[in-house]
Amino acid sequence: MFGGGGDDYARDPELTQWIREGGSTSNADARRRAYSAAIRRITERALWMPLYNQVTNYAFNRRLSFNAQADELPRLYLAKWS
């Protein structure tokens, strides 16, 4: 969203540079510095904000073997009753 492409409505050259720097290095400290600067700019100027929040609730039973996934897509076909 801030890398200078078609979806980049901020068009901030310095922000774009930090995003590209962070994405082009495997050095953890360099990535942290670049992304920290980018996040600070995005936050200070309110260039992005969530418009809604999605909540996912799961109910569990001791007899049910079910693992919630990080992407919040419930893979119910993997659930099994014991």
Q: What is the mean pLDDT of each run of 10 residues along the chain (82 residues)?
A: 92 97 97 98 91 78 89 88 88
Q: What is the pLDDT of residue 50?
A: 79
Residues constituting the chain: 82
The full DSSP string for 27-79 is -HHHHHHHHHHHHHHHHHTT----S----------TTEE----TT----GGG-
pLDDT at res. 9? 92
| Confidence (pLDDT) at 55 | 78
Q: How far is residue 62's CA from residue 78's CA, in Å, rounded to a whole number?
A: 16
pLDDT value at position 64? 92
The whole-number pLDDT of residue 82 equals: 85
**Which CB contacts under 8 angstroms, 24+ apart, belong to 48-56?**
48/1, 48/2
Please give the pLDDT value at position 80: 92
